[in-house]
Amino acid sequence: MYETTFLVNASLDDHQIQATIAKVQETIENNGGQIKAVEKIGRKRLAYPINKKNNGFFVSIEFLSAGNVVNQLNRFYQFEENVLRFLNVIVDKNILKARQPSPAQAGNP
């Protein structure tokens, strides 16, 4: 399981931001990946300016795939001018277990 987190230029229209997110999802799926979760964190103020931008739209996507998808994503991010920063990581199996509610917690409202 992999996770990619990226920062889109927040000065774009919502439609343009959604189109950029869709391109990332297409890149994952076209290279044999399977998307498990998409979390659109939203617009946030940056701690420091990136390319003279003070705000960014944060997105995190969890996906299953072979390692070649990560290489394709890196290539996509480098050429996509609307993506300010990105990070791809392998999600540890222990973290996945910790995210799942235990049977006792699942039954409690």
The string of pLDDT tens digits covering residues 4-17 is 999 999 999 999 99
Give the residue-averaged pLDDT of 79-91.
Answer: 93
Between 98 and 82, the higher pLDDT residue = 82
Angle at 5 between CA 28 and CA 42, to 5 degrees: 115
What pTM did the predictor assign? 0.83
From residue 64, give the alpha-carbon distance in Å to each of 4, 10, 19, 37, 61.
Answer: 11, 28, 22, 10, 10
Instruction: Round the CA-based radius of gyration of the chain to a whole number and report it.
Output: 16
32-48 residue pLDDT tens: 999 999 999 999 999 99
59-73 residue pLDDT tens: 999 999 887 889 999
Given a cut of 60, whether residue 100 has pLDDT beyond it is yes
Residues 2/90, Cβ–Cβ less than 8 Å? yes
